[in-house]
Amino acid sequence: MEKLVVHGGQPLTGTLSVSASKNAALPLMAAALLPHGVTVLDQIPQLRDITTFSHVMRITGASVQCMDRKLTIDASRVDFPEAPYDLVKKMRASFYMLGALLGRCGQARVSLPGGCAWGPRPVDLHLEGLKALGAEIDLDEGYVVAHAPRGRLSGGSYRFEPSSVGATVNLLLAACLGSGGSRIENAAIEPDVLVFCEMLTAMGAKLEGIGTRTIEVEGVAELHPVQFSNCPDRIELGTFMIAAAIAGIPDQPVVMTHTRSDHLGNEFLDAFQGTGAKCIIDDSNSTITVTAPERLTPVSITTGIYPGFPTDLQAQWTVLLACADGSATVTDQVYGDRFNHIPELARMGLMAHVSGNQVTVQGGKPLSGARVMSTDLRASVSLVLAAMVAKGTTHVGRIYHLDRGYEALESKLSQCGIQIRREQYDEFAAVHQG
Ligand code: EPZ
């Protein structure tokens, strides 16, 4: 197994380049299964989740080739509409195959995703929504078996409650090639969904209301392959901004390039500026300069759907609060028990108390290095952030979680002055060495 070893206390200086978005790339890849022919996707990050999803797509008969962050997907032949448990259990987004295969083949057999690192993450909205659009759905030995009667979905109307990124993507994938019209209410408007809708439109899909809570789809008989460019990763950008606020030198700006700051959402930007960190965004939204304050002011946040504060940045925000003078809360209204990072951060000296869907952080007490363990993607990066400001050395284990969603994190941070390196380790031996 691999771990990151971080010697804390070094300031973050210089320029960080933001990679392309993981959570936008996955629906774009699924969309490439809809037309017969070769779709080319640019700006696809080199990440474990992309590799996993490429494998899932290949099972169906599609060819997926990756070179220099360019994916070439040949969906001329998609004749095995199935996504097996062994792959779907590795990554929930594989469930996008349900909508993609229903749209493309009129049938799908896709494993239910099963458990998640934190609490229940149901798929009821995906299934109810697809039924409302005309799909016949049964469960068979842990698999969802879906059919479109007469080969194409008739279309229909469905209102999400709550709004869901994944279910909105699945319904759109299935509806575009339907025989009738569909209406999706309370649709997700996260930037990842918008970029996905732009690609569908470029492929010839008939969508109205992109960027609003109601999307109308008029089914078309076929879509055509396209060349399409992915967007930068907004969660990596937010993570880097927090890194600059906690580990930057006051008066020495840290620059983030290849950004889409308009994808961050107002609530994150407002909370960030409330901490005293200075943030200058260039006119094209593609560069952000962050300057750390002398002292960080604690700001309480509550996660919510876009443009609310992203749940994918709350673990990182907890570390920022640990570095601020005073007490504040992090409340997660999207995933009420996404707090597996708290016990690990507590091993580094974090003073925090979890109650229900809220954690109260008492900041200002220095963190210190420890052996800690990643439990999921965002939890792992919060441990790296904490390690950067901790006194002494931190060993962050099980970083295969981190590799799912942060491209070349240690080389980006080390180029900016952080002492961080990747090492092999034997987890069992580490337990006995203490
Ligand atoms: C996406 O997950 C992201 N994943 C997650 O990022 C992110 O945390 C999440 O959206 C919220 O922003 C990808 O894009 C691959 P949802 P998704 O359906 O689509 C409830 C990361 O770290 N719900 O929008 O699965 C659900 O429990 C990952 O990169 C139902 O009740 O999230 C939650 O409370 C982790 N029934 C809310 O909706 C359903 O059928 C929003 O979840 C589906 C969802």
Task: Report which secondary-structure segment, H or E, holds 200.
Answer: helix 191-202
Buried b (16+ CB within 10 A) or exposed e, 340-369: bbbebbebbbbbbeeeebbbbbbbbeebeb
Asked whether 162 lines ligand 1 (CB < 6 A), one says yes
Residue 124: predicted pLDDT: 95
Nearest CA to ligand 1 atom 16: 164
Residue 431: predicted pLDDT: 56
Residue 345: predicted pLDDT: 98
pLDDT digits (tens, 9 = 90+) for 116-145: 676 778 999 999 999 999 999 999 999 999
Ligand 1 closest atom vs CA 188: 24
In which band, very low, low, confident or very high, does the pLDDT at 115 lie, cut at 50, 70 and 90? low
DSSP states of 45-68 as a string? ---HHHHHHHHHHHHTT-EEEEET
Q: Which residues contact 243 (CB under 8 A, 6 or more apart)?
A: 12, 16, 254, 385, 388, 413
Q: State which of 165, 302, 305 you would mutate to test the pocket of ligand 1, scoring each by most atoms of that ligand within 8 A of its C-beta.
A: 165
In which band, very low, low, confident or very high, does the pLDDT at 66 lie, cut at 50, 70 and 90? very high
Residue 427: predicted pLDDT: 84
Interatomic CA distance for residues 105 and 145, integer angstroms? 13
Asked whether 121 lines ligand 1 (CB < 6 A), one says yes
**Which of 349, 310, 306, 357 is CA-nearest to residue 329?**
357
CA of 332 from ligand 1 middle (Å) equals: 12
- Give catalytic status of residue 105 as yes or no: no
Q: State which of 144, 334, 377, 403 you would mutate to test the pocket of ligand 1, scoring each by most atoms of that ligand within 8 A of its C-beta.
A: 334
Over the chain, what is the mean pLDDT?
96
pLDDT digits (tens, 9 = 90+) for 208-253: 999 999 999 999 999 999 999 999 999 999 999 999 999 999 999 9
The answer, yes or no, to whether residue 53 has pLDDT greater than 70, is: yes
Asked whether 334 lines ligand 1 (CB < 6 A), one says yes
Q: Which residues contact 432 (CB under 8 A, 6 or more apart)?
A: none
CA of 165 from ligand 1 middle (Å) equals: 6
Q: Which one is catalytic: 116, 197, 279, 323?
A: 116
Asked whether 233 lines ligand 1 (CB < 6 A), one says no
Residue 394 tokens, joined: 């931190």
CA of 22 from ligand 1 middle (Å) equals: 14
Interatomic CA distance for residues 197 and 401, integer angstroms? 28
**Strands of 264-384, DSSP E:** 278-281, 287-291, 301-302, 327-331, 351-355, 358-362, 371-373
Nearest CA to ligand 1 atom 25: 166
Asked whether 23 lines ligand 1 (CB < 6 A), one says yes
pTM above 0.85, yes or no: yes
pLDDT digits (tens, 9 = 90+) for 285-302: 899 999 999 999 999 999
Pairing outcome for strands 214-218 and 206-208: antiparallel
* Bridge partners (DSSP) listed for residue 252: 249
Question: Cα dihedral sign for 114, 405, 127, 78?
Answer: negative
Residue 116: predicted pLDDT: 67
The answer, yes or no, to whether residue 406 has pLDDT greater than 50, is: yes
Asked whether 405 lines ligand 1 (CB < 6 A), one says yes
Mean pLDDT for the stretch of residues 406-431: 92
Q: State which of 164, 333, 401 you would mutate to test the pocket of ligand 1, scoring each by most atoms of that ligand within 8 A of its C-beta.
A: 164
pLDDT digits (tens, 9 = 90+) for 341-351: 999 999 999 99
CA of 164 from ligand 1 middle (Å) equals: 6
Ligand 1 closest atom vs CA 120: 27
Q: What is the 3-state composition of the chain as percent helix, strand, coil, each rounded to the nearest 5?
A: 35, 25, 40
154: helix, strand or coil: coil
Task: Report which secondary-structure segment, H or E, holds 6.
Answer: strand 2-7
Interatomic CA distance for residues 143 and 166, integer angstroms? 18
CA of 167 from ligand 1 middle (Å) equals: 9
**Which of 138, 142, 208 is CA-nearest to residue 175?**
208
Ligand 1 closest atom vs CA 166: 19
CA of 131 from ligand 1 middle (Å) equals: 20
CA of 248 from ligand 1 middle (Å) equals: 32
